[in-house]
A and B are shown apart, each in its own frame.
Chain A
Amino acid sequence: MRARTSIASGLGRRLVVGTPFFWLVVFFLAPFAIVFGISLSRSRFGVPPYEPLWQNGALAARLDNYAFLLDDPLYLTALLNSLEIAALSAAICLVLGYPIALGVARAPKSWRAPLLLAVILPFWTSFLIRVYAWTGLLKKEGLINDALIWLGLAAEPIQMLQTDFAVHLGIVYSYLPFMVLPLYASLERQDMSLLEAASDLGARPWRAFLTITLPLSLPGALAGFLLVFIPAVGEFVIPELLGDAGTAMIGKVLWTEFFNNRDWPLAAALAITVLTLIVAPLAWLEHLRLKRSEASQ
């Protein structure tokens, strides 16, 4: 009897652990392997637009595409540009999102759910439509320019659309909830008696915030930063709609290689490179963090 229940619970446990595993293998690892395979191939005209890896009983893998990426400075420039735009946008999100998250976390309990809903509400409209709506606001004869001229703050329309400013604005606007939510989660579960203890020990409110609230919310801030930074690096829609043709972000370059040049192998090599460049440092950081927490045990 006991043996049977332990087998059943063992099966249950395997099912619970196995489901996310299965998901990752089917929807992440397998596509990744396919893309990696394509990146080792050579483009051609036809369907599919790349040569098979297995030709005449021999493996026809080559690293030409990766070599090409290193050769042409376009890719490196686009990548650095993307990292810079994503990092700056994530930093702006952090600065804007922190007071919002703190405000919601410190609001009366009955207010928190509606306020959180307000943060998430924009997600109920299509992302594409919301980004596109910004073109109507930012263009030369758009709402913002009209208002500035009417108020006498600008003599002539300001070029806002098709600038890096618009791209930053679009990313910050679109990704702000991803910053607010993890920050809120870490701020909300902070023990308020810690702040009382700080105050009791002589810390004024501002010092108590800097020495207690802020350091304890750093994990939430890091999570929020990564949740904004990682998708922003590969962002395509926002620079396409709000940036100018010269805004070289890696997502746009990838799109061009894939759809305009129909060079699937090169696009695949680019995708793999970007993924590796983002995941590898994060994995290393996580490894360091684990090692440190083990050491302190």
Chain B
Amino acid sequence: MTGPAAKQPLDDRPAALILEGVTRRFGATVAVDAVDLTVRSGELFSLLGASGCGKTTLLRMIAGFEIPNSGRVLIDGQDVTHAPPYERPVNMVFQSYALFPHMTVAQNVAYGLKQTGMARSERDDRVQEVLALVELDSFGRRRPDQLSGGQRQRVALARALAKRPKILLLDEPLGALDRKLRERTQFELVNLQERIGTTFILVTHDQEEAMTMSDRIAIMQGGHILQIGPPREVYEYPTSRTVADFIGAANLLEGTVASVEGRSAEIRLQATGGAAMAESDIPLKTGDAVTVMVRPEKIQAHRASTGAANELSGTVIDIAYLGDLSIYHVQIADGVRVQVAIANRRHADEAPFTWDDAVFLSWHPGDGVILIT
């Protein structure tokens, strides 16, 4: 998802959320450690990480359920660091949806509007409007226990949108849905976000979900943000081994810098002793210990040597058939394997390689990314 062309460039838009050195400790553990973050107005932003990385605590500090030990939270330019949840212009879609079981769908959606003292007729109109937005117009009189999981998720969404929040927070909003429904809902959510233009901040552990939906992703680990960027950027140009490993599959080959010429460098690989070409924006000097990262789908495999600059030879030792593509595990040296993804354009029984085949692997120098850590 790259967003429609009509969208204003992100950097020109005002900030919807600014976090300044936000830290939250629970006893001796630091859940969120001095995080700085700016989310632009109208952005669909994801916090991505494994469980325990601090992404949920960060979201709860934006919502007001947790107060930071230090740092500041600014929403729409207002310092709300110590404001209670009921005074913040944000609303949340809870992971469990947290629908009020003793109220109808319409009453659930109207709950937030009632707290603001909105007139009844205006309230009823708004409830109908947001229910129409999530295509539940005719479900207003049902109770939550009479709805399917997907419908409940949409009620939670409608309830959180009813007050027209400055920022909508979504805590693993699709986690409870089955795979097919999840994929459809991802697109529905993105379309909805583009239509209403509200800033969405989404917490997820599912990298596919983050990649599909987000304008930008923040990858978190151990209370820190490792990298922030659009999906394409964090996938193609990760800045650390952890990010490379977390987003998609990555071949990580260790080596030392043999020579540098502009952005490209020649790396002597530890595993084979051979040379490989790769690119980096980081200034390098000869002798630096680095890692070369190559995505499995960027590698070509051939039966004979092609004489390309980046070439490794090895033996096929494992094949994982995934239907649309197959992953070949190629051993290039003792204990060092490279994964190669090849699309299955023909039937699998006509696969180009089989076990124990000798293969030559190569990739375009620009597809190799040099990582320092």
Contact = CB atoms under 8 A, between A and B. Distances in A.
A62 interface: no
A260 to B, nearest CB: 51
A202 B115 contact: yes
Interface stretch (A64-72, A149-157, A191-199, A236-244): A191-199
A204 B98 CA distance: 17
A296 interface: yes
Given A193-B96, A199-B86, A216 B101 contact: yes
Interface string A196-217: 1111111110010001100110
Contacts of B63: 200
A202 B143 contact: no
A193 to B, nearest CB: 4
Contacts of B170: none
Interface string B98-112: 111110000000011
A122 B169 CA distance: 49
Contacts of B92: 197, 200
Given A193-B94, A207-B115, A296-B143, A200 B100 contact: no
Given A202-B116, A203-B115, A296-B143, A196 B86 contact: no
A296 B65 CA distance: 35
Contact of B98 (A196, A207, A216, A296): A196
A202 B88 CA distance: 8
Contact of B96 (A191, A201, A203, A207): A191
Contacts of A196: 65, 85, 94, 98
Contacts of B221: none
Nearest to B88: A200
B40 interface: no
B84 interface: yes
Contacts of B146: 296
A204 B114 CA distance: 12
B102 A201 contact: no
Interface in B320-367: none
A107 to B, nearest CB: 19
B153 interface: no
Given A191-B96, A193-B96, A207-B115, A200 B86 contact: yes
Contact of A201 (B101, B111, B143): B111
A200 B163 CA distance: 11
A199 B98 contact: no
Nearest to A190: B101
A200 B85 contact: yes
Contacts of A212: 100
Contacts of A204: 86
Nearest to B111: A201
A198 B111 contact: yes
B100 A197 contact: yes
Contacts of B65: 196, 199-200
Interface in A208-236: 211-212, 215-216
Nearest to A199: B85
B91 interface: yes
Given A194-B100, A212-B100, A215-B102, A201 B115 contact: yes
Contacts of A216: 101-102
Nearest to B95: A193
A193, A201, A203 interface centre (most CB from chain B within 10 Å):
A201
A90 B92 CA distance: 40
A203 B163 CA distance: 13
B91 A200 contact: yes
Given A202-B115, A202-B116, A207-B115, A197 B86 contact: no
Interface of A: 191, 193-194, 196-204, 207, 211-212, 215-216, 296
A-B pairs, top 4 by smallest CB distance, nearest first, are A201-B112, A202-B115, A197-B98, A193-B98
Interface of B: 63-65, 84-86, 90-92, 94, 96, 98-102, 111-112, 115-116, 143, 146, 159-160, 163
15 contacts: A193-B94, A193-B98, A196-B65, A197-B94, A197-B100, A197-B159, A199-B85, A200-B63, A200-B64, A200-B86, A201-B163, A202-B163, A203-B115, A204-B86, A215-B102
Given A193-B98, A203-B86, A203-B115, 13 more contacts: A191-B98, A194-B98, A196-B98, A199-B64, A199-B84, A200-B65, A200-B160, A201-B112, A202-B86, A202-B163, A203-B111, A204-B86, A212-B100
